[in-house]
């Protein structure tokens, strides 16, 4: 059924479809609506989950870990400082090979207090062993959340998945949503290493360097295997629901001579910029990077690259640009834009392309 929904409510609606046994979450702007909606679902009986109103994000992830290891489906949601506060347990969840799904509503980090969109929060968790996808529409927030459960719980993966949506820009916008019933798209969760008093084992004990090293390598092997699982899941989703997703969302890329690479809602705004640039005779295309872990190997060929980073790694550079440079050896024009919810329009993005200086970095609106 087609409805009008916010990004946050779309995530909650997908969670209701996935029907986790346990949801443990702590409210934080701009994620709060997800938690409120799930609490509503649980109160009105349309979601049978146990909802644990924890006293912190650290405990939110800890409670999900405790629940997940019994072999049941779990979900949580957070944002920004919440994600940083639970960072220890975020690492633990991946190390413990638990298929927890978390929505992170991307928001800037203080100080000063700023509740608007930025990707630095989730990108600080990029080395934790979580899979990370960034979405750009309300529908995609719903679809990616559904797929996240199936991907995480696949025994070839058994790693947690984080679904990222831009704070306010996407979390609070109302757009149309096709709330497709999930039926059998997500199979029942089976966790091979679930804790059981019938087969007592020690979990997370002291571990020798050699064994620890092998266990870490196993995480990376599963991360690599997840590439195939993501592909299969997105294909299965497309054939069931008719909506196709991939590593990147490519817009007019085939004959493009200059590519705009970005993440989240900026990737949609970039498509409008592409149309403007094309009308001026500049053969532009937009490549919106969806999965940052595992990292895609985009088809960049010999095209010029304009990479927009709504994040920053101080002392180094934009994280998307740095990653592309490291993976492909290609230089780019790196524009740092949209930090703390800075307004970036399609006209601004078209401007980035017109002024591109490959090999340089520019902070939009600051060093012009």
Binding residue for another protein, selected from 40, 53, 355, 357, defined by CB under 8 A: 53
State the nearest-atom distance from the C-beta of 36 to another protein, in Å.
13
- 11, 344, 350, 353: residue in contact with another protein (rule CB under 8 A): 344
Is the Cβ of residue 305 or residue 349 nearer to another protein in the bound state? Answer: 349
Among 18, 22, 151, 263, binds another protein (CB under 8 A): 22
Q: Name which position in 343, 355, 357, 365 contacts another protein (CB under 8 A).
A: 343
Contacts of 211 (CB under 8 A, 6+ apart): none
Q: Say which DSSP state 258 is in.
A: E
Q: Residue 309 in contact with residue 275, Cβ under 8 Å? A: no
Taking CB under 8 A as the rule, does residue 56 contact another protein? yes
Handedness of CA 123, 129, 134, 138 (dihedral sign): negative
| Cβ nearer to another protein, comparing 92 with 241 | 92
Q: Which of residues 211-250 bind another protein (CB under 8 A)?
A: 211
Alpha carbons 164 and 167: distance in angstroms, whole number: 9
Segment lying near another protein (by CB under 8 A), choices 145-153, 179-187, 264-272, 305-313: 264-272
| 176 touching another protein, by CB under 8 A | yes
Q: Which of 150, 268, 303, 356 binds another protein (CB under 8 A)?
A: 268
Beta strands in 246-290 (DSSP E): 248-251, 258-262, 284-289
> Which of 172, 252, 278, 330: binder of another protein (CB under 8 A)?
172
Nearer to another protein, 43 or 176 (CB): 176
CB neighbour list of residue 310: distance below 8 Å, 6 or more residues apart: 106, 117, 118, 119, 166, 262, 263, 264, 266, 337, 338, 339
Q: Does residue number 68 form part of the binding site for another protein (CB under 8 A)?
A: yes
State which residue, 40 or 70, has the beta carbon closest to another protein.
Answer: 70
DSSP 280-349: TT--EEEEEE-EEESPP----TT-EEEEEESS-BTTTB-HHHHHHHHHH----EEEE--GGG----HHHH
Q: Is 89 in the site for another protein (CB under 8 A)?
A: yes
Q: Is 175 in the site for another protein (CB under 8 A)?
A: yes
Nearer to another protein, 293 or 310 (CB): 310
Residue with token string 């969670």: 15
243 Cβ partners below 8 Å, 6+ apart?
139, 143, 178, 237
Neighbours of 213 (CB within 10 A): 11
Residue number, 109 or 276, with CB nearest to another protein:
276
Spatial contact of 4 and 174, defined as CB atoms under 8 Å apart: yes
Among 45, 181, 202, 315, binds another protein (CB under 8 A): 202
Residues that bind another protein (CB under 8 A): 2, 4, 21-22, 24, 29-30, 50, 52-56, 58-60, 62-72, 74, 88-89, 92, 115, 166, 168-170, 172-176, 195-197, 199-208, 211, 265-266, 268-269, 271-272, 343-346
């Amino acid at each position: 059924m087609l409805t009008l929904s916010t990004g946050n409510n779309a995530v909650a609606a997908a969670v209701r479809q996935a029907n986790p046994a346990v949801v443990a979450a702590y409210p934080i702007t701009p994620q709060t609506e997800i938690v409120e909606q799930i609490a509503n679902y649980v109160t009105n009986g349309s979601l049978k989950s146990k909802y644990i109103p924890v006293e912190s994000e650290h405990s939110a992830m800890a409670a999900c870990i405790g629940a997940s290891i019994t072999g049941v489906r779990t979900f949580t949601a957070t944002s920004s400082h919440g994600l940083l506060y639970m960072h220890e347990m975020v690492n633990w969840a991946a190390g413990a090979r638990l298929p927890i799904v978390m929505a992170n509503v991307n928001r800037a980090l203080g100080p000063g207090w700023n509740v608007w969109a930025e990707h630095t929060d989730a990108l600080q968790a990029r080395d934790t062993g979580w899979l990370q996808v960034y979405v750009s529409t309300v529908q995609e927030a719903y679809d990616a959340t559904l797929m996240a459960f199936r991907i995480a719980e696949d025994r070839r993966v058994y790693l947690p998945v984080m679904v990222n949506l831009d704070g306010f820009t996407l979390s609070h916008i109302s757009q149309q949503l096709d709330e497709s019933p999930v039926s059998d798209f997500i199979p029942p969760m089976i966790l091979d290493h679930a804790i059981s008093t019938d087969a007592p084992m020690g979990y997370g004990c002291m571990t020798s360097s050699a064994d620890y090293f092998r266990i870490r390598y196993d995480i990376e092997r599963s991360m690599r295997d997840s590439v195939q699982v993501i592909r299969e899941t997105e294909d299965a989703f497309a054939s069931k629901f008719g909506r196709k997703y991939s590593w990147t969302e490519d817009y007019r890329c085939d004959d493009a001579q200059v590519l705009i690479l970005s993440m989240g809602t900026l990737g949609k705004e970039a498509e409008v910029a592409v149309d403007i640039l094309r009308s001026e005779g500049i053969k532009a295309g937009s490549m919106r990077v969806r999965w940052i872990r595992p990292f895609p190997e985009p088809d960049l060929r010999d095209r010029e690259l304009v990479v927009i980073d709504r994040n920053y790694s101080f002392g180094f550079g934009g994280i998307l640009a740095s990653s592309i440079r490291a993976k492909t050896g290609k230089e780019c024009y790196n524009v740092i834009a949209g930090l703390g919810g800075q307004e970036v329009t399609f006209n601004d993005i078209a401007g980035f392309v017109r002024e591109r200086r490959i090999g340089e970095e520019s902070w939009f609106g600051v060093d012009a």
